[in-house]
Structure 1
């Protein structure tokens, strides 16, 4: 069969997504379900009409970078520091609980100690995409719920980056403590550099040329991608760099215009992300990992909301708010998929453990989306009383 061109791939993905998204809305289903199902259908394990899945997966990661940039634009620095202080205790305790739970499940199903620890790592994190995409914009901007959610997700992002750095040094069997220390030390330097560039270069340029909307869009895009790449070079991650790029612009009067202009671009790449997630999954692995994946997914869906409810309740949060946050964070993360991919490439885990994490991600993404869409305020709710933009 002839290799599918990039244009043909885009045609199949976006025309197909338009059709299945329409069917999903008529059937009162979350759109994320449609995108993942389309990936399974068109990818190598389904009809195999799209063969450049790896390229699409790499492109789709740009959507996560834009998502973090837009998160930064929506957060005022003082509010962020305040909520991070409050989220640290909950984040530390919850990460420890989920790490132990994942390790226990890995041991139960006969995975090696290293594979069990990697499964535990993957269980520590919740999805930024699902958590924020299903959060009403008004809540994200103005409500304590949005601040607490972002604080917890950001804390998890810092932990995830530490885990990725540990895995990158794991091929030698030893953690590169020096490299880890340098990366952590680089974080405040990157923040200071970003603040200086925004204050003395970007803001004067925005002020002088704000009439040229194309230029504002281009400058914001260049700043986001440039700082993301610099963060990657310093041993952090592109996601952290993009978030810092956003938050240093958050106090600018033009920040909300930039956020609005970038949202369609973000959504374009996020559709690619969920499609590639479905397309990369090997259905031939299902018989081997079905039972472990079902039990792991059930543990995530049942335990995470309870843990967050209890921990946030002890932090003087209202009971209803604590349950709301708990269910919104009741899945594993895009970082979990990255951890599975990296650990497999480093030969720290086998194909079975990698696909267990992937299957758990897909199952928890789907079920958690259903739970939030059907029961909590969100932009794509089926019930009119729950729909909030």
Structure 2
């Protein structure tokens, strides 16, 4: 009973450390990975000593890496993987070959034998899949082109652990002349063939049968069974658990149950991956660091800088831009979790001694700890990449009766009404890619920041009778309004409001018209819902008008009382009733706003 209580205390301690450390580190901008690592160091055998066996935690928490790769596999359809084959085998093999050669030479420069240097360097070449994926996920870059290239390299490195372990056995002084273990090779091939066959012919019928039972917990259990069962089969056959889980994910990537399985696995993946990082933090042996400070510090710096330089050179040689190459070099400059497996196997086989194992393990752990810090420092202190304005026109001595600032979803639709009446319109936007895309639809958009007075003058704001502010950032919109009211008081100002509070700020600033961006679309949506409910048309129109009236009255009361409520959607105007400017001459151009809009807007 006491033993069970002790285990429960340890579980509570682990969860408590994560719950306290991770939000704190994210709040100060250091990221969740560093929070987990710090939590592990604090509660581990070299901190508060609440745990004395971090390897046991790591052994269980490795399932987090396994599940992480399974979820990544679910996003990788076989056709997508096939399209990445050049990056996986071309870019991946080039980077690994160059980094291995450089790190082996670094090891020899430190006085180690070629074999020890090769094993040490090769372990450091195997990048931390968990850290890279976690940082890419937090930045939302896994699906981007440069993120996919890193994914390809990591996949190749995961494949590499199998021949490396075989090489360790071959280099072992304990190696006998029994020849190649063909039975082990056949078992591994048979295991992979079995997983592929099961994924193609058995998994979908299996999940369909369970879905008929309509028991959510059974589907969750089945998802865990597939992940852990495949990982176990791969491990027993001498392959990587993570590789098996990834393979299972790929085989299920085109299944109709993919999204359900991913939702079931996600909570377990997140918790176990966090425990893995805590275990890595616990494994940082401060005694080894203190006894070998010069070697450890020099080793970390030499290997991280050497690996980063090699990655950068390979990336540039393979056609990547400077910023992309630098980002990849920084993010992948650390050693990884598979290094622990390789070093432990090499020590057990007598290829390296226990002191080298301890030193190299510490160097890898420190490199993993330093990576999130280096990423944050580089983000803060490196100059931002210069914006390419190729194919983009800058405003210069323009004139038009209307100036539209912002060509996002809102500005695109609003400007089309003006263009349809042949009104002279000048449009500026600060997104160069959006401007290039809009040109494909026949729109002339100029690049310019509406918060700069010189840009407004060059765009013809002095001659414009109407300035429409269609940007989606309330602070930017307020700055533009303040500038326009002060410098161009004769112009009428129409502004896109973000919410009720922003609308109140605009009303107090004295703009001529503002509309909260979702109000009218929400009313149209609600009216259509009433039509589906078979409400008479005259009642629908009356309800919509009543909502407009009551919301307008509440807003005017708030303005007069100085009390802004939270809410969404209101239209307010200080303009007189509009009169036609010119007769309509052509139909409005129908443009899908998503075609020229950045997906984040």
Would you say the 8 A contact 1:301–1:368 is kept in 2?
A: no
For residues 255 and 239 of structure 1, what CA distance do their matches in structure 2 show? 19
1:11 offset after TM fit, Å? 1.2
Distance in 1 (alpha carbons) for counterparts of 2:183 and 2:265: 32
104-113 vs 13-22, greater mean Cα deviation: 104-113
Partner of 2:50: helix, strand, or coil?
coil
Aligned with 1:140: secondary structure?
coil
Listed one character per residue, the Cα deviations across residues 83-136 of structure 1 (whole Å, up to 9, x for unaligned) are 133332332232233223333333333334432222111122111011111113
Q: Equivalent residue for 2:35?
A: 34
> Is the 8 Å Cα contact of residues 102 and 121 (structure 1) preserved in structure 2?
yes
Identify the residue that residue 339 of structure 1 maps to in structure 2: 342
> Aligned partners of 1:200, 1:266: CA distance in 2, in Å?
26
- C-alpha change, 1:39 and 1:86, in structure 2 (3 Å) is closer
The structure-2 alpha-carbon separation of the partners of 1:271 and 1:311, relative to structure 1 and needing over 3 Å to count, comes to same
Question: How many angstroms does 1:252 deviate by?
Answer: 0.9
Contact kept? 1:134, 1:372, Cα under 8 Å: no
| Distance across 2 between alignment mates of 1:163 and 1:16 | 35
Distance 1:246 1:186, change over 3 A: farther
Tell me which residue corresponds to 2:332.
Answer: 329
Aligned to 2:153: 152
Q: Deviations over 1:181-224 (max 9, x none)?
A: 66666666444422322333220232343343222221121111
Look up the match of 1:19: 20
Structure 1 position 364 matched with structure 2 position 367: yes
Where does residue 141 of structure 2 map in the other structure?
A: 139
| Higher deviation after alignment, 130-139 or 8-17 | 130-139
Report the CA distance shift for 1:178/1:309 in structure 2 as closer, same or farther (over 3 A).
same
Q: Which residue of 2 aligns with 1:288?
A: 291
The CA distance in 2 between the partners of 1:154 and 1:21, in whole Å, is 28
Per mean C-alpha deviation after superposition, the further-off stretch among 61-70 and 355-364 is 355-364
Q: Where do residues 296-335 of structure 1 align in structure 2 (5 Å cutoff)?
A: 296-335=299-338
3-state SS of the aligned residue for 1:172? coil
Greater RCO, CA 8 A, separation 6+:
1
Aligned residues: 375
The alignment status of 1:105 with 2:103, answered yes or no, reads no
After superposition, what is the alpha-carbon deviation per residue over 1:137-162, rounded to whole angstroms, capped at 9, x for unaligned? Answer: 75324x22232111100111111221
**Pair 1:172 & 2:174 matched:** yes
Tell me, in whole angstroms, the C-alpha distance in 1 between the residues paired with 2:254 and 2:378.
Answer: 34
Partner secondary structure for residue 126 of structure 2: coil
CA distance in 1, matches of 2:119, 2:197: 38
Distance across 2 between alignment mates of 1:70 and 1:184: 27
SS at 1:236's partner residue? coil
| Structure 1 equivalent of residue 72 of structure 2 | 71
* Cα distance between partner residues in 2 of 1:108 and 1:318: 32
Correspondence for 1:385? none
- Distance in 2 (CA, whole Å) between partners of 1:312 and 1:360 is 25
- For structure 2, which runs of at least 5 residues remain unmatched after alignment? 381-599
Query: In the superposition, relative to structure 1, how do residues 256 and 130 fare at CA in structure 2: closer, same or farther (>3 Å)?
Result: same
Instruction: Output one character per residue of 1:13-63: Cα deviation in whole Å (capped at 9) or x when no partner.
Output: 111222222332343323222322232222222332223433212111111
SS of residue in 2 equivalent to 1:178:
coil
* CA-to-aligned-CA distance 1:224-280 (integer Å, 9 cap, x gap): 111111112222121111111111101112212212321221121122212222223
Post-superposition Cα deviations, 1:50-86, rounded to whole Å, max 9, x if no partner, equal: 2343321211111111112112111111221231333
Structure 1 residue 200 and structure 2 residue 188: aligned? Answer: no
TM-score (normalised: structure 1): 0.86
Asked if the contact 2:41–2:284 (Cα under 8 Å) also holds between the matched residues in 1, the reply is: yes
**SS at 2:29 equivalent:** coil
Q: 1:130 to 1:254 in 2, by over 3 A?
A: same
Evaluate the alpha carbon distance shift between residue 240 and residue 322 of structure 1 in structure 2; reply closer, same or farther with a 3 A threshold.
Answer: same
The range that moved more, 121-130 or 338-347, is: 338-347
Equivalent position of 1:8 in the other structure: 9
Q: Deviations over 1:353-376 (max 9, x none)?
A: 122222222222122212334556
Residue matched to 1:252: 255
Tell me the TM-score normalised to structure 2 length.
Answer: 0.57
- Residue in structure 2 matched with residue 93 of structure 1 by the alignment: 94
Measure the CA separation in 2 of the matches of 1:176 and 1:232: 23
Structure 1 counterpart of 2:458? none
Which residue of structure 2 aligns with residue 384 of structure 1? none
Contact persistence 2:88–2:155 (CA under 8 A): no
Structure 1: where are the runs of 5+ without partners?
Answer: 378-387
Residue 126 of structure 1 pairs with residue 139 of structure 2: no
SS class of match (1:203): helix
Which 10-residue stretch deviates more, 165-174 or 111-120?
165-174
Match of 1:50 in 2: 51
Q: Who is 2:117 aligned against? A: 116
